[in-house]
Structure 1
Amino acid sequence: MRCSCCDRRTIMHLFLLLILHATAAVGQIDPTHCRYALGMEDKRIRDEAVSASSQWYQSTGPQFARVNREEGDGAWCPKGQLEPSDTQYLQVDLGRLTFLTVVGTQGRYARNSGNEYARAYRLNYSRDAVLWTSWKNRAGNPVMEANKNAYDYVINDVHPPIIARYVRVIPVTRVSTTVCMRLELYGCSWDEGLVSYGAPEGQQLQRPGLPLASFNDSTYDGVRDRRRLWGGLGQLTDGVIGLDNFLQTRQYNTWPGYDYLGWRNDSLGTQGHVEMEFVFDRQRNFTSMKVHSNNMFSLGVKIFSSVSCWFKPRLVATWDPEPVTFVTVLDDRNPSARYVTVPLSRRAAQSLRCRFYFADVWMMFSEVSFQSEDAVLPTAVLPSLPPDEETTLTTSSITTSPATSESPDTGNTPVLIGCLVTIILLLVIIIFLILWCQCVCKVLEKAPRRILDEDVTVRLSSCSDTIILQTPPVPPRAGHGPNNAGPHYERVFLLDPQYQNPAVLRNKLPELSQSAEASALLLGNPLYDLLLLTSCHMASGWLCACGGGYAEPDVTQCTPHQCFHSNAPHYAETDIVRLQGVTGSNMYAVPAVTVDSLTRKDISAAEFPRHQLIFREKLGEGQFGEVHLCEAEGLQEFLGEGSPLPDRDGYSVLVAVKQLRADATSQARNDFMKEIKIMSRLNDSNIIRLLCVCVTSDPLCMVTEYMENGDLNMFLSQREIESTLTHANNIPSVSLSDLLHMSVQIASGMKYLASLNFVHRDLATRNCLLDRRLTIKIADFGMSRNLYSSDYYRIQGRAVLPIRWMAWESILLGKFTTASDVWAFGVTLWEIFTLCKEQPYSLLSDEQVIENTGEFFRNQGRQIFLYAPPLCPPSLFELMMRCWRRNIPDRPTFEGLYQALKPHVNQ
């Protein structure tokens, strides 16, 4: 067994980080991927970090300006009527410098009692809460169009992006009106720490036969004075890399040369260089600088010939006398623009001044980024200080006075000796820990291992496997916790007292050690995993999974968790190929022969132009990838006749895009391609369709249908059963006929999957999507969404299981079949007819749900079933109970379920 704590390289790496107290900064940010929600909706941004210029009432204060939440009176509302000349603002303190790329807004809906929203807004931002800057788009327009109603969520890209800690959203109106807003900000951390750069203004290139090209920094947010830029950031930090041909741009409706800041050699006098100054948020140890430079030498443009950089440890200090100089290897054969990496020798500074020397007539930069470490250690070059200045020692830096050859300064000797002794002691401790871990690992290898298969399945196939099912307490989903359970829930049987008191079970150990039932009693009970017996004596009809096989009853050397009754079906590892979905779920478990045959065929889905996918919202994420809501421009024309999409009259189509992360493992990439191949061959009106793919380059993407009404769980939980009262009060409602129609559609989709021997393994209302006509399509996005995290039971901090929807054999034996999907279908029906107002087994904890699974295994009549929903016809509840039968052959098939449900719809 491999012990993670014994990885020497990992420990030594952590040790070095401990010595340095630093984390290497991330390189230049890519704005197309830096689009993560910053925490307004999920409250990672705390209430005290959100303020406003005014508020109408306490219940419409800034702390309620969170999208998709209905707290307080539903939104932030500034005081009084907003006039066109007013400047009311909502301010968010992001806590650190942030690269902001997207803003999302909503109005005040307040559960259908509000109708206030902002039709437009402006953005102001600041990096220090002192100097505020007004944002403008690349065309110079400061106003963003916002909402047209109170409930829609409107996303706006921030082009150019903003680097700031403080952001103000200022609603704009043309007439006097009441305005309310909810807000979410998207981006990522600006770990580079650069707060400003200064440089000469860029010039224009005018040459016969070429268009006029202007290389000014058009998005610079600092001061322009005397043909110099200072105190701000602009195009050199916007994440947009210039093209090889500087006359072409990546932005629409911009002029030639827009992506570059460029200078002509003779315009700077006789200097022969461009001097730039960079200021950072704190002192750092700089390892390198990356400069993206144009090299179109046919037009007199080359990368710089050399660069010299001076360092200033503090903003009020003087420049170090010794620069770092780097000579560039010029390339006169390849005209491609490229990054030039300049090593900076781990010099300590808060400010840098670099001189870039010309190699030709022109020099053009599109991006500059720095790699550094947060904490500052002494560097080889000492800072320049007056001889009489005292040596200072702080927690973040060590500055020493220059020594002279005549009178060496030995004041630092005790400090250095102390540091060396501390380092030696730490090394001794680390070596001891490594040896101790190796010893512990050897002991653990001899003991019964307590592991769980990473593929979400519990395996009982080796003598040393012990089930551990643990989970931290997870708060119940809103409206689904015990306090919100309806009055209709009744316990059919009380839990056995020994479940409530482990001591009772422990006292029974001598008696249980002689009984084959001991294994079944302990199996699936995580609270008693330490009470394993050393052997189990087998009775008639019981088997033992030991040594990789299934032993006869006379074998007595197996641990209790390896014993089970012969009519409990075991799980054959080779029968199923499990695909690790991009979002962390496993949508389909497919017979191995099916996958093998698919890997020899080409993907049937067509390659869609990646640039025609426009990001709108991140729907979810998992271990290896993300699910995005995007607009697909021209998708209907791309798919041609027979397109499954509704007619949009030429407008963009909303789609869900599964995207594999760049750091995904090779196994994840292979599984992603297999998932694409399988999805591309699914063609049913009740299964989510794979429309196209983007797999010719990274990141790998699959594009699927997106349903306007979202998932079935959210749809039903926001509605009541249709009645005279709902009609009179205009309350969103559904009829019993609607619920039956939904049930039939899910059965139809699962019937199709079962006909292909596909096993879903996560069937639930959260994985059923609806369009505007209430057509249901089965998908697999539920596990990736934080909204449904409480529906999954986390094991060992890694895998998650939807245990409240799983059959007993799936939890205890890792067996996933069409019959286990039938069990989950029964739970899904129960959800539908409770209108998703309650989580299944809501009065049981996760551990008690697993204990109840053990009761199904023992089949002694003490298992707890879900109650009959009041809306559910008795015949339909009887169908649910058939889905939850203990013996697999006794459960109905999806074909039988479909045929049984159809008459209900007709009636």
Structure 2
Amino acid sequence: MEVKEVKLVAHHVFVVLLAASVRTQVNPEMCRYPLGMTGGQIQDEDISASSQYSESTAARFGRLDFDNGDGDGAWCPGVTSEADGLKDFLQVDLRSLHFITLVGTQGRHADGMGNEFAQRYRIQYSRGGSDWVDWRDRKGRQVIEGNRNAYEAVLKDLEPPLIARFVRFMPVTDHSMIVCMRVELYGCEWLDGLTSYSIPDGHQMIYRGRDVYFNDSVYDGASAERLTQGLGQLTDGTWGLDDFLHSQIYGMWPGYDYVGWNNRSFPKGYVEMIFEFDHVRNFTSMKVYCNNMYSRGVRLFRQATCYFRSGPDWEADPVVFRPGADHVSQAARFVTVPLGDRTASSIKCRFHFGDLWMLLSELAFQSGSAVYNTSRNKGHPTSLLPGYDPTHKLDDSNTRILIGCLVAVIAILLAIIVIILWRQVWQKMLEKASRRMLDDELTARLADQTRAFSFHHSSLSSEEGSASTSTYERIFPLCADYQEPSRLIRKLPEFAQSAEPVEKPEAACSDNAPHYAEADIISLQESSESSTCPVTAVNISLFAGTDSSLKEFPRNKLTFKEKLGEGQFGEVHLCEAEDMQDFLNEDLCIEGNNMSPLLVAVKTLREDANKNARNDFLKEIRIMSRLRDPNIVRLLAVCVDSDPLCMITEYMENGDLNQFLCNLRLRQAAEDRTEWEEKEERSMVCDRKLIGMAAQIASGMKYLSSLNFVHRDLATRNCLVGKNYTIKIADFGMSRNLYRGDYYRIQGRAVLPIRWMSWESILLGKFTMASDVWAFGVTLWEILTLCKEQPYSQLSDEQVIENTGEFFRDQGKQVYLPKPPYCPDKVYSDLMLSCWRRNAKQRPSFQDIHTQLVESLA
């Protein structure tokens, strides 16, 4: 009990310190908290509207998931004529600036008596309440797709996020129609306090014949020779890549993530920026995210000179900071500029060029609110060179007192923890047991739980029987009280029953390979050395050794192109391999690709990896070296003669299938398309080609299933596209930041692609060939929708998990993915739905799936 209490207190202290450390650095992936429309933190007086249909549909009722008891429970604008020229809106006052990343809308169902909702809407926002800005996405579109029925909530990410105090929801509809809305805003408080920045407009670079634009394309202020009275890409929470020719946002132009300037356009050798804040603040530092690709003429700024203003005039003595030139690393990074505890409501900084180009992607300020005399203070330092310790000015804020208290609390907690750990030192002996023995023990406990579960649920007995004959891989080791990934497991009374002791089942073949948060392309189900299960001929052949055709590739012939992502093993890079085709044996040569250099994916093992991780990395090399199938990504070569260890796999020139299909769709995307344009889009990739892609994936999975492999993360993001629509199954999806929204994190221990997972995988932790079949059904749905949206996009992650509970209960309340618009009825009813059958034994095999898809193409 003492240990749990100490850990709980330590956790709270860590959260407080974490919040203090990141308070001026907004992360859009974490800043997604409801701001109070649903919970009531936003008061009724802060919600207003242009009009209302009746008193029972006033603005104060426009709260998401709210019912006022009168059966209305939504805001409905009054019926206005077009001649009035008025735009209906629902306005929310957040009382302070907020960083808003997500919005949610809902219609009015009135307990089945109403059916009014907004199919489309726009958003306006203001930081001061006088000047209103129309929100636009990164491609300049204003209209947001809303609801399709009156009761389901639809959440939409705002890309880019907006910084505002006032937000208006404006339904886009015929004025003769009645629409109703309930809304919620998601984000966090904008503690930077920055209300606008003024900078010169960005320049255009021509690099090797390519146009590279460094303009601030999402700036929401006035645009002339200088950008004024607005915010934009320097505060959108998205940082640029090391290579400025590529973007974090898919489909954007080269240079999109950066705002940059050419030295030749500034005779004085610096770019001047002015920052305005909401009130007088005490500034400690400024963080500037800079590109440093000096091989292309881009370097960090050479010097930053910052002036401060609290009244009408700028103070005379600036703060000067010189970061020093970096001639080693070309990686982009944050540079922290100390501001010496100066007080101001405005800051003017001059960034001096270090080379021909200077590129910035993000700015953040660390400060505290303070009340000071606005007259000059003689104690300010005039220079902040490296190693200089500025004299901190006394202030009236409680920041230092709070930090001192936190340090004292942490010291006390550390002392308590040391005492408790000293008393329990014998527990350390248990941690020295081998990882394999621990995994065997946990597997046996899982088998006990599964047998006990089936004791109370005879309807699952047939499925549990299959689990003992087909091996499966776990996301992470499960113990007998498995209650992840959702609170749903505690809501099911069946799981709360105390299981009676049952006879322990015979030893079953189990997966002993340790789990990594990175989704491997395949996971070999091998028996441990101590297992009593027979080892099949397939397993023996795969572990007999690495394929003799696999060779050591010279590292100096690999040229880095871009970072694809990062997993538990290490990083995954996209590289060019010089003379790879000449290096490969005949059976490894890639057909139809005689280009040199060859595009490859290089997975590396981080140098600080422990012995277990190193062995698992080498084990994966041995496994993949034996795989030979036209629809599985091949391992081409390795670099294992020195650290870091690398495995080199083929990478298809058209990238992953998800982005490939999105790109096909976006070529014809427009807000209002004609019927002819709809036909043109369909002709770009006909149904037969889509089914052909799915058939290739089924063929690859048929090969893996013949070897008793379980993929665990089958999706379009994990399939690569080559020439002539060739598809190969890979495993890079989880390691890419682009797809982090497809995974659900469980208390920091693992990430799960729950929207692709079967119900038994989520609730019971069972991963079999049948669960891969379920994931294939979702992948087929993605393909036939051209990846227009995420599966179950109308549901939150928690609602997706709740839906798996309905599959478990089997009371006809489970929600299936809808039939895609152009999907053949037979493919949906006979194939797709069969992949999502509750009983895993009733799902088709990949052999059956492949046969059915091939027959549909005949």
Q: TM-score, normalised by structure 1?
A: 0.47
Q: TM-score, normalised by structure 2?
A: 0.50
> Which of the pair is proportionally richer in helix?
2
Greater Cα radius of gyration, structure 1 or 2: 1
